[in-house]
């Protein structure tokens, strides 16, 4: 995606003849497409605007579909943000539902469409074409993938079919293939319907956007809620079972009997129409657009899950199927089509999912994402503060990981998991990332505090302060993945009763409370790596020892982080 | 406060004799003082550090006191963040509780202190003195203010006395004088204890930091919960009543019989010690400090509620008794004393209070604050979005007001009130303010979205988009306070049944749904001011009419804002 702001005003496509009105045709009437249509009308009353959608609805809440399956949203009309009639009446926008775009004639500027009810084909002329076809759930080419009872979740009719299947067959169990956002949300909703659910996931963690140790508390929670996690095992085949039942055959050979299967492996941009028309497709599989969401063809824009956009953290192109960016892209495209100066700023992959009472969220790059992108000049801190003041009843821990650039302290990403206040902290850090903020900014940010809402030093402030301590050398940190191989002396500074209740292997115990009397017992010719419960006491010990000439380092996040790592199978 | 970063390293005070260790004495061991002490020890093991506090505790959670009174926090030990013993053991910090500092000899660098238990006076030498005495509740000089049963809430013993009074006298009713943070929190907690509560407030609103129309939904909620609000009426006297009872006499002459009185009128910086020592006091009544929290005296720093700091929005000095800034100031002072380059960035008055299930929060300047500061080049928008996606059950409205600079769009302040998600939106906007962000940044910020947590266009995005529409002329706005006097045609664009159920005076009805057919009925030679339920349909109508040559303006926030204004008594 072009990085520079683009002015479209000089080259905005005009109608082909002076007697015709300029005509904008939008393919796909959900999220980006719907946003683009409505915004465009507000900007320009003179245009003809038409929206074409393959499905029976436009502008529906696709993020609500799992909750409709789960009957949390009982009335499917709640999912309809707007109707074809309201588009017509309110915005003078033509809407053609049950209509599929089948070919683009870029030279003639015609779109061939098929009415899916009658089968009739016709041609829609355009001066401007906006492609917003979205992304389709991946259906792996394995035996049995098309059996009855195997579902993906993309549309209201999809969801209706799952609801009907559950009701008609009295479904008691489900296998959800894939442990990402949609897989987790589907699992939650099937549990809510009373089904016994197994998640089959090829990776060794759920929630692939976050690092495995940050997914660990969620995985533990999911299993405690009675869901079976089969991780590190892929889908090999689906077979018919007893009655209407199915058997999911995993790559390991395990056979899982089930009443229905949800495919939530991921999605793939629907680029067929664009490819056939010769529009450039990028390395990540999405349509290539510039900063104004315009394709190589000056008459064609593209928005939403089908495009590649720049990841502002890594500078690399990415495909990010999320509703927020899709909506903003729709607005940007509309502004560009209307001849305004506009620019989509790229994405930072802010996301959240609520699962059975727990919340996991992230923004920016993950550690594995940074490593994949070849970034090495970064550091990380872990912390586990309460979501509000500890003295007020009901404080729940938030497990927080902050990644930042060394030595400049620029925030690269954050991940959080917990029961309350998770989305707030990630949103605050997401905002700081937008401004290319540093950990120093996080240390200083003035957030609202009352006992029910936060702390005088909010978890965000604490994360910034810890990172500052790393950057300025006050708190050298050691990495947990090296404790098995290091020559350093490993010291647990918790109280003896805590140490005895469980500690990482290889650690001796010298409590912080005895440190001032006993520190002379420690060697000066060897690094000392310190751990405690969450990292705070080890920080105090690190500062004390460093000032007395010891080479002390803090194992960030303490025993809590250690346990997250081991739960995730990390060394 | 000096705006420039300050390096203290050249002038850090040294001990008076080479045989003595450098000695830091901190007056006041809560919040700023406690933070300063602990941070200073982490930075410098070589110092002698002593903390002196008039009360029996250091480092207690003063923000938790109302909840201790309300028995939400049942065990007062929960309020103790650290003990004198833990300060000694963990940080090698001497703590003298029940000890009052009575005089500073700046020439000799001695502090006179009195042991409040024995009455004995002694001298504490210092190389560095840190003043963190806090601010005292204002006790107005009216008859009866010292009667038994009249309380202020500053310390654990204060709170203990209120609890005992309620228990011993079987208190059934209370008058809380003052409707600010502490007054509201005390009210909530007394209601929680089963008392019937009246708030007596001199202003015509509660929560003075926000604008009156933004306090209106909270006032309505408080009254619906059975609390009596007596606004626009001050405290004249307190008299003894029947038995242990009291009678609060208001300035209006109204007499309120009650079992106890809480004074929550406000606080005043405790500058007595500093004044007596000749340290400069600012116009707002706080100790004057530089960017490193150092006073005019190079040996004396001051932090917390006792100092004046810069408001980053108005550039004016202010006194802000909040825990977050106090803690950060303590850190800054410690860094400065340790010879590090440091700087306190000023305050933006981010604050929140939870009241009987409702939350009100704000950051930056209020409209009345801007007017007081003489700022005129600003605009405002109101909106009332759901706290999460409308299609997901349980969405609650957030009433949001955004103030921004014209024409550059810099965010000046935000206020929000609602039941859920209020603190999150204010924290996000607070973060943007820290970076001197604009409304364009808010329109673009990529926040986490899943149905339970937000919307594809989060309330923060919507606020930014609305403000952008104002700045770029897409949505000229009219001000509700002019509807009685304007020559403009006032048009309510809601449906007839909504209009008939209630509308602002002087409005005709022309629904948005009929606008495209009927707009020719409207005059072109006269401004048209449009209103709807929350401002969205009026925005659509404004765009439509503007493009057809009408001088249309949107009354921001619609009928919902109108009702907030009338509830607050605004014209």
Is A176 among the domain residues?
Answer: yes
Give the integer Cα–Cα distance in Å for B514 and B497.
14
pLDDT at A219: 98
**pLDDT averaged per 10 residues in sequence order, chain B, 571 residues:** 43 73 96 96 97 94 95 94 91 97 98 97 98 96 97 96 97 98 97 98 97 98 98 97 93 97 97 98 97 98 97 93 95 97 96 97 97 95 96 96 98 98 98 98 97 96 98 96 96 98 97 96 97 97 97 98 96 83
- A251 in any annotated domain: yes
Residues A283 and A390 in one domain: no
A-chain residue closest to B64, CA distance: A451
Residues A424, A405: one domain?
A: yes
Both structure tokens of B250? 């208001």
Closest residue of B to A361, CA-based? B448
Task: Tell whether B112 is covered by a domain.
Answer: yes
CB A191 within 8 A of CB A164: no
Give the mutation candidate from B35, B81, B449 for the A interface (greatest A CB count, under 10 A).
B449
For residue A292, give how far its alpha carbon lies from the nearest alpha carbon of chain B (Å). 14
The minimal CB distance from B516 to the residues A44, A92, A445 is found for A92
Q: A7-49, pLDDT tens digit by residue? A: 444 456 777 777 789 999 999 999 999 999 999 999 999 999 9
- List, for residues B214-265, the tens digit of each pLDDT value: 999 999 999 999 999 999 999 999 999 988 899 999 999 999 999 999 999 9
| Residues of B known to be catalytic | 63
In this predicted complex, what is the ipTM? 0.96
> Is there a single domain that holds both residue B403 and residue B522?
no
Q: Cβ–Cβ of A89/B427 closer than 8 Å?
A: no
Residue B141 in domain = no
CATH number for the domain spanning A561: value is 3.40.250.10
Tell me the nearest-neighbour CA distance from A274 into chain B, angstroms.
26
Q: Which of B42, B44, B352 is the closest to A448 by Cβ?
A: B352
Average pLDDT rounded to a whole number, residues A109-127: 97
Q: Would you say residue A497 has pLDDT above 70?
A: yes
What is the Cα–Cα distance from A62 to A65, expressed in whole angstroms?
A: 5
For residue B262 the two structure tokens come to 């809480």
Chain B residues with beta carbon closer than 8 angstroms to that of A431: 428, 431-432, 445, 447
The secondary structure of B510-536 as a DSSP string is --GGGHHHHGGGS-SSS-EEEE-SSSH
For A542, the closest chain B residue by CA position comes to: B42
Q: Are residue A441 and residue A482 in the same domain, yes or no?
A: no
> According to the model, what pLDDT value does residue B355 have?
97
Q: How far is A389 from chain B (nearest CA, A)?
A: 9
Q: What is the pLDDT of residue A243?
A: 87
Residue B19 lies in a domain: yes
Q: For the domain that residue B66 is a member of, what is the CATH number?
A: 3.50.50.60
Spatial distance between the Cα atoms of A39 and A289, rounded to a whole number of angstroms: 19
* Cα gap B126→B4, rounded to integer Å: 27
Å from B117 to nearest chain A CA? 29
- Specify the pLDDT at position A3: 42
Could you read off the pLDDT of A320-353 as tens digits, one per residue? Answer: 999 999 999 999 999 999 999 999 999 999 999 9
Chain B segment 427-486 residues within 8 A of A by beta carbon are 427-428, 430-432, 434-435, 437, 441, 444-454, 456-458, 461, 474
> Which residues of chain A neighbour B539 with C-beta distances below 8 Å?
42
CA distance B423 to chain A (A): 7
Helical (H) or strand (E) element with B168? helix B156-169
Q: Which of B389, B426, B446 minimises the CB distance to A434? A: B446
For B529, phi and psi rounded to 5 degrees?
-105, 130
My answer on whether A398 and A314 are in the same domain is: no
**In whole angstroms, what is the distance from residue B405 CA to residue B147 CA?**
49
Q: Position of tokens 């963690």?
A: A205
Rounded CA-CA distance B376/B366 in Å is: 13
Closest by Cβ to A453, choosing from B185, B328, B352: B352
Q: Does any domain span residue A489? A: yes
State whether A42 and B446 contact (CB < 8 Å): no
Q: Residues A381, A499: one domain?
A: no
Last residue in a domain, options B342, B375, B402: B342
Chain B positions in Cβ-Cβ contact with residue A548 (cut-off 8 Å): 45
- In chain B, what residues touch A79 (CB-CB under 8 Å)? 391
- Among the candidates B448, B471, B494, a domain finishes at B471
Q: What are phi and psi of B102, to 5 degrees?
A: -115, -25
Question: Is B125 an 8 Å CB contact of chain A?
Answer: no
Residue written as token pair 């009309």 = A77
Q: Are residues A38 and A104 in the same domain?
A: yes
What pLDDT was estimated at residue A11?
A: 57
Task: Tell me whether residues B359 and A453 touch, CB distance under 8 A.
Answer: yes
Does residue A320 sit in the same domain as residue A429?
no
Quick one: chain B helix, strand, coil %, rounded to 5?
A: 30, 25, 45
Tokens representing residue B6 in the block:
């300050």
- Report B:498-517 residues touching A (Cβ under 8 A): 512-513, 516
pLDDT of residue B39: 96
Give dist(CA A303, CA B308) in Å, integer.
50
The total of structural domains in chain B comes to: 4
Assess whether B15 and B125 both reside in one domain: yes
β-bridge mates for residue A386, sequence order: A397
- B184 interfaces chain A, CB cutoff of 8 Å: no
CA distances from B51 to A42, A363, B65, B130, B321 (A): 63, 41, 22, 9, 21
Is there a single domain that holds both residue B464 and residue B508? no
Judging by beta carbons within 10 Å of its beta carbon (0-12, 13-18, 19+), is residue A103 exposed, middle or buried?
Answer: middle
Q: What is the DSSP string of A51-97?
A: EE-SSS-SSB-GGGHHHHHTTSS--GGGGBS--HHHHHHHH--EEE-
Task: Give the one of A64, A92, A457 whose C-beta lies nearest to B389's C-beta.
Answer: A64
B309 CB within 8 Å of a chain A CB = no
For residue B480, give the DSSP letter.
G
Q: Does B347 touch chain A (CB under 8 A)?
A: yes
Instruction: Give, in order, the Cα–Cα distances in Å from A536 to each of A80, A161, A533.
Output: 49, 52, 8
Q: Which of A425, A445, A471 is the last residue of a domain?
A: A471
Residues of B in contact with A311 (CB under 8 A): none
Considering the domain architecture, whether residues A292 and A312 belong to the same structural domain is answered as yes
- Averaged pLDDT score across all residues of chain A: 95
pLDDT of residue A142: 97
Q: What pLDDT does B5 receive?
A: 44
Rounded to 5 degrees, φ, ψ at B147 are -65, 155
- Please answer yes or no on whether B324 and A63 come within 8 Å at the CB atom: no
Same domain, B418 and B445: yes
A136 contacts A154 by C-beta, under 8 angstroms = yes
| Alpha helices, H only, A225-291 | 272-276
**Backbone dihedral angles phi then psi of residue B196, each to the nearest 5 degrees:** -90, 125
CA distances in angstroms from B200 to A61, B249, B263, listed in the order given:
47, 10, 10
Q: Is residue A209 part of a domain?
A: yes
Q: Tell whether A5 lies on the interface with B, counting CB pairs under 8 A.
A: no
Q: Is the residue at B166 inside a domain?
A: yes
Q: Which domain holds residue B194?
A: 150-265
């Amino acid at each position: 995606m072009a990085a520079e702001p683009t002015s479209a005003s000089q080259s905005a496509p005009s109608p082909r003849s002076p007697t015709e009105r300029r005509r904008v045709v939008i393919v796909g009437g959900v999220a980006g497409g719907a946003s683009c249509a409505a915004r465009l009308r507000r900007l320009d009353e003179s245009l003809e605007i038409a929206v074409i959608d393959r499905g029976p609805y436009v502008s529906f809440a696709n993020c609500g579909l799992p909750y409709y399956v789960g009957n949390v949203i009982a009335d499917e009309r709640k999912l309809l943000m707007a109707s074809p009639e309201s588009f017509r009446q309110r915005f003078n926008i033509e809407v053609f539902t049950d209509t599929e775009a089948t070919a683009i004639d870029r030279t003639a500027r015609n779109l061939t469409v098929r009415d899916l009810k009658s089968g009739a084909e016709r041609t829609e002329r355009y001066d401007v074409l906006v492609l917003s076809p979205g992304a389709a759930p991946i259906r792996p080419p394995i035996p049995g993938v098309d059996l009855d009872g195997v579902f993906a979740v993309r549309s209201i009719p999809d969801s209706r079919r799952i609801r009907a299947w559950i009701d008609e067959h009295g479904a008691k169990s489900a296998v959800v293939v894939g442990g990402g956002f949609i897989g987790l949300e589907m699992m939650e909703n099937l549990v809510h319907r009373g089904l016994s659910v197994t998640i089959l996931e090829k990776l060794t963690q759920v929630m692939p956007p976050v690092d495995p140790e940050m997914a660990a508390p969620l995985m533990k929670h999911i299993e405690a809620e009675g869901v079976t996690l089969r991780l590190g095992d892929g889908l090999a085949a689906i077979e018919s079972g007893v009655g209407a039942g199915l058997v999911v055959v995993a790559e390991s050979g395990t056979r899982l009997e089930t009443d229905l299967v949800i495919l939530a492996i991921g999605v793939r941009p629907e680029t067929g129409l664009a490819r056939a028309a010769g529009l450039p497709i990028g390395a990540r599989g999405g349509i290539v657009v510039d900063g104004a969401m315009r394709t190589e063809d000056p008459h064609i824009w593209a928005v939403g899950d089908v495009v590649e956009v720049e990841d502002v953290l890594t500078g690399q192109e990415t495909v990010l199927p999320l509703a927020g960016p899709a909506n903003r892209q729709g607005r940007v495209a509309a502004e560009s089509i209307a001849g305004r100066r506009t620019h989509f700023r790229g994405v930072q992959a802010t996301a959240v999912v609520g699962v059975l009472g727990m919340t996991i969220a992230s923004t920016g790059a993950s550690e594995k994402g940074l490593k994949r992108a070849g970034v090495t000049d970064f550091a990380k801190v872990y912390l586990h503060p309460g979501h509000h003041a500890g003295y007020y009843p009901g404080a729940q821990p938030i497990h927080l990981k902050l990644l930042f650039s060394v030595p400049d302290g620029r925030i690269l990403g954050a991940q959080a998991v917990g029961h309350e206040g998770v989305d707030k902290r990630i949103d605050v850090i997401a905002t700081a990332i937008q401004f290319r903020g540093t950990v120093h900014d996080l240390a200083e940010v003035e957030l609202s505090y009352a006992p029910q809402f936060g702390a005088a030093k909010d978890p965000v402030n604490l994360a910034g302060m810890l990172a500052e301590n790393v950057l300025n050398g006050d708190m050298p940190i050691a990495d947990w993945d090296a404790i098995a191989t290091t020559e350093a002396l490993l010291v647990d500074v918790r109280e003896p009763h805590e140490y005895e209740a469980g500690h990482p292997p290889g650690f001796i115990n010298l409590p912080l409370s005895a440190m001032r009397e006993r520190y002379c017992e420690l060697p000066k010719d060897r690094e000392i790596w310190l751990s405690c419960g969450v990292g705070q006491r080890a920080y105090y010990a690190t500062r004390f020892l460093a000032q007395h000439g010891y080479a002390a380092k803090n194992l960030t996040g303490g025993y809590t982080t250690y346990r997250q790592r081991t739960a995730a199978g990390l060394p």
